[in-house]
Amino acid sequence: MSNLFIALTHYPVINKNGDVIASAVTNLDLHDMSRVARTYGIPSFYVVTPLEDQKALVERIVLHWVEGTGARYNPKRREALERIKIKSDLEEVKNHIQSKGGEPPEVVVTSACPEDWNLSFDEFRGMLKNDRPYLLVFGTAWGLPESYMDEADYQLEPLLGVDDYNHLSVRSASAIILDRLLGSDR
Protein backbone atom coordinates (compact mmCIF):
# COMPACT_ATOMS: atom_id res chain seq x y z
CA MET A 1 0.00 0.00 0.00
CA SER A 2 1.14 3.52 -0.75
CA ASN A 3 1.65 6.17 1.96
CA LEU A 4 -0.33 8.56 -0.25
CA PHE A 5 -3.99 9.22 0.60
CA ILE A 6 -6.38 11.28 -1.53
CA ALA A 7 -9.36 13.49 -0.74
CA LEU A 8 -12.04 14.98 -2.99
CA THR A 9 -13.44 18.15 -1.44
CA HIS A 10 -17.01 19.41 -1.99
CA TYR A 11 -16.77 22.17 0.64
CA PRO A 12 -15.17 24.65 0.74
CA VAL A 13 -14.75 25.09 -3.04
CA ILE A 14 -15.33 28.09 -5.27
CA ASN A 15 -17.79 28.57 -8.10
CA LYS A 16 -17.29 30.30 -11.45
CA ASN A 17 -17.60 33.72 -9.79
CA GLY A 18 -15.13 32.96 -6.99
CA ASP A 19 -17.78 32.55 -4.25
CA VAL A 20 -17.27 29.79 -1.70
CA ILE A 21 -19.89 27.08 -2.15
CA ALA A 22 -20.65 23.43 -1.34
CA SER A 23 -20.76 21.41 -4.58
CA ALA A 24 -22.91 18.36 -5.22
CA VAL A 25 -21.32 14.91 -5.28
CA THR A 26 -20.93 13.44 -8.79
CA ASN A 27 -21.47 9.69 -9.02
CA LEU A 28 -18.78 9.15 -11.66
CA ASP A 29 -16.16 10.95 -9.53
CA LEU A 30 -16.64 8.21 -6.93
CA HIS A 31 -16.28 5.42 -9.46
CA ASP A 32 -13.42 6.84 -11.50
CA MET A 33 -11.31 8.05 -8.60
CA SER A 34 -11.79 4.94 -6.47
CA ARG A 35 -10.76 2.77 -9.43
CA VAL A 36 -7.61 4.90 -9.83
CA ALA A 37 -6.99 4.60 -6.06
CA ARG A 38 -7.30 0.80 -6.29
CA THR A 39 -5.02 0.70 -9.34
CA TYR A 40 -2.18 2.61 -7.68
CA GLY A 41 -2.45 1.13 -4.17
CA ILE A 42 -3.90 4.19 -2.42
CA PRO A 43 -5.32 2.94 0.92
CA SER A 44 -8.19 5.45 1.31
CA PHE A 45 -10.08 7.85 -0.93
CA TYR A 46 -11.82 10.44 1.28
CA VAL A 47 -15.00 12.04 -0.04
CA VAL A 48 -15.38 15.27 1.92
CA THR A 49 -18.70 17.05 2.39
CA PRO A 50 -20.39 18.46 5.49
CA LEU A 51 -23.89 18.06 3.98
CA GLU A 52 -25.86 15.22 5.56
CA ASP A 53 -27.93 14.43 2.47
CA GLN A 54 -24.81 14.28 0.32
CA LYS A 55 -23.10 11.99 2.82
CA ALA A 56 -26.16 9.73 2.79
CA LEU A 57 -26.06 9.68 -1.04
CA VAL A 58 -22.39 8.65 -1.11
CA GLU A 59 -23.04 6.01 1.52
CA ARG A 60 -25.93 4.55 -0.51
CA ILE A 61 -23.79 4.39 -3.66
CA VAL A 62 -20.85 2.80 -1.83
CA LEU A 63 -23.05 0.25 -0.05
CA HIS A 64 -24.66 -0.80 -3.34
CA TRP A 65 -21.26 -1.66 -4.82
CA VAL A 66 -19.59 -2.96 -1.66
CA GLU A 67 -22.39 -5.01 -0.07
CA GLY A 68 -25.43 -4.81 -2.35
CA THR A 69 -26.31 -6.33 -5.72
CA GLY A 70 -23.53 -4.29 -7.35
CA ALA A 71 -20.92 -6.27 -5.41
CA ARG A 72 -22.18 -9.51 -6.91
CA TYR A 73 -22.67 -8.03 -10.38
CA ASN A 74 -19.17 -6.53 -10.52
CA PRO A 75 -16.71 -7.52 -7.76
CA LYS A 76 -14.01 -5.32 -9.35
CA ARG A 77 -16.09 -2.27 -8.46
CA ARG A 78 -16.30 -3.49 -4.89
CA GLU A 79 -12.50 -3.61 -4.68
CA ALA A 80 -12.45 0.03 -5.79
CA LEU A 81 -15.40 1.59 -3.95
CA GLU A 82 -14.54 -0.02 -0.62
CA ARG A 83 -11.61 2.45 -0.45
CA ILE A 84 -14.07 5.35 -0.11
CA LYS A 85 -14.40 6.97 3.32
CA ILE A 86 -16.91 9.76 3.92
CA LYS A 87 -15.74 12.68 6.08
CA SER A 88 -17.12 16.11 7.00
CA ASP A 89 -13.94 18.16 6.69
CA LEU A 90 -10.17 18.13 6.41
CA GLU A 91 -9.67 17.77 10.17
CA GLU A 92 -11.67 14.53 10.21
CA VAL A 93 -9.60 13.21 7.31
CA LYS A 94 -6.31 14.07 9.01
CA ASN A 95 -7.47 12.50 12.29
CA HIS A 96 -8.51 9.33 10.49
CA ILE A 97 -5.12 8.98 8.79
CA GLN A 98 -3.32 9.67 12.08
CA SER A 99 -5.45 7.07 13.88
CA LYS A 100 -4.25 4.44 11.37
CA GLY A 101 -0.54 5.15 11.33
CA GLY A 102 0.21 7.32 14.35
CA GLU A 103 1.39 10.32 12.35
CA PRO A 104 -0.69 13.15 10.89
CA PRO A 105 -0.31 13.50 7.12
CA GLU A 106 1.40 16.36 5.36
CA VAL A 107 -1.24 18.05 3.22
CA VAL A 108 -0.61 18.74 -0.47
CA VAL A 109 -3.25 20.72 -2.36
CA THR A 110 -3.79 20.69 -6.12
CA SER A 111 -4.71 23.61 -8.34
CA ALA A 112 -4.85 24.32 -12.06
CA CYS A 113 -3.41 27.77 -11.37
CA PRO A 114 0.05 28.20 -12.95
CA GLU A 115 1.27 30.36 -10.05
CA ASP A 116 2.00 29.91 -6.33
CA TRP A 117 2.92 26.22 -6.37
CA ASN A 118 5.94 25.07 -4.37
CA LEU A 119 6.17 21.32 -5.00
CA SER A 120 7.11 19.75 -8.34
CA PHE A 121 6.05 16.26 -9.39
CA ASP A 122 9.68 15.18 -9.19
CA GLU A 123 10.09 16.50 -5.64
CA PHE A 124 6.83 14.87 -4.54
CA ARG A 125 7.88 11.51 -6.03
CA GLY A 126 11.04 11.78 -3.95
CA MET A 127 9.14 12.68 -0.76
CA LEU A 128 6.82 9.69 -1.20
CA LYS A 129 9.83 7.42 -0.60
CA ASN A 130 9.70 8.59 3.04
CA ASP A 131 7.64 6.55 5.46
CA ARG A 132 5.31 9.35 6.59
CA PRO A 133 1.74 9.73 5.27
CA TYR A 134 0.79 12.36 2.68
CA LEU A 135 -2.70 13.58 1.81
CA LEU A 136 -3.32 14.93 -1.69
CA VAL A 137 -6.43 17.14 -1.84
CA PHE A 138 -8.49 17.74 -4.99
CA GLY A 139 -11.26 20.33 -5.25
CA THR A 140 -14.49 20.00 -7.20
CA ALA A 141 -16.30 22.87 -9.02
CA TRP A 142 -13.79 25.68 -9.77
CA GLY A 143 -11.31 24.40 -7.18
CA LEU A 144 -10.17 25.05 -3.61
CA PRO A 145 -10.33 28.58 -2.12
CA GLU A 146 -7.06 30.47 -1.68
CA SER A 147 -7.41 30.61 2.12
CA TYR A 148 -7.72 26.80 2.19
CA MET A 149 -4.64 26.39 0.01
CA ASP A 150 -2.61 28.82 2.13
CA GLU A 151 -3.00 26.53 5.14
CA ALA A 152 -1.70 23.43 3.36
CA ASP A 153 1.89 22.25 3.69
CA TYR A 154 2.46 22.23 -0.06
CA GLN A 155 0.79 23.20 -3.34
CA LEU A 156 1.54 20.79 -6.20
CA GLU A 157 2.72 21.93 -9.62
CA PRO A 158 -0.27 22.19 -11.99
CA LEU A 159 -0.76 20.01 -15.06
CA LEU A 160 0.14 21.85 -18.22
CA GLY A 161 -0.71 20.89 -21.76
CA VAL A 162 0.48 22.51 -24.97
CA ASP A 163 -0.62 26.02 -24.00
CA ASP A 164 -2.39 27.84 -21.17
CA TYR A 165 -5.64 25.82 -21.37
CA ASN A 166 -6.09 24.41 -17.84
CA HIS A 167 -9.61 22.99 -17.73
CA LEU A 168 -9.38 19.26 -17.15
CA SER A 169 -12.12 17.54 -15.16
CA VAL A 170 -11.12 16.52 -11.65
CA ARG A 171 -11.53 12.91 -12.82
CA SER A 172 -8.96 13.36 -15.59
CA ALA A 173 -6.60 15.53 -13.55
CA SER A 174 -6.53 13.18 -10.57
CA ALA A 175 -5.90 10.16 -12.81
CA ILE A 176 -2.95 11.88 -14.53
CA ILE A 177 -1.48 13.23 -11.29
CA LEU A 178 -1.61 9.85 -9.55
CA ASP A 179 -0.01 8.15 -12.56
CA ARG A 180 2.76 10.75 -12.53
CA LEU A 181 3.34 10.18 -8.80
CA LEU A 182 2.88 6.40 -8.53
CA GLY A 183 2.84 4.99 -12.09
CA SER A 184 5.39 2.45 -13.27
CA ASP A 185 6.24 4.22 -16.56
CA ARG A 186 9.07 6.29 -15.03
Residues that bind a copy of itself (CB under 8 A): 2, 16, 28, 31-32, 35-36, 38-41, 74, 76-77, 79-80, 121, 159-163, 165-169, 171-173, 175-176, 179-180, 182-185
Q: State which H helix or E strand residue 95 sits in.
A: helix 90-101
Q: How far is the CB of 50 from a copy of itself (least distance, A)?
A: 25
Which residues are CB-contacts of 171 (< 8 A; sequence separation ≥ 6)?
28, 29, 32, 33
CB of 124 to a copy of itself, least distance (A): 11
Q: From CA 149, how far away is CA 138, in angstroms rounded?
A: 11
Q: Work out how close the CB of 13 gets to a copy of itself at its nearest, in angstroms, rounded to a whole number.
A: 16
Nearer to a copy of itself, 45 or 90 (CB): 45
- CA 168, 166, 22, 84 torsion: positive or negative? positive
Cβ burial of 16 (10 Å; 0-12, 13-18, 19+) is exposed
- The least CB distance from residue 173 to a copy of itself, in Å, is 8
> Quick one: 63 or 160, whose CB is closer to a copy of itself?
160
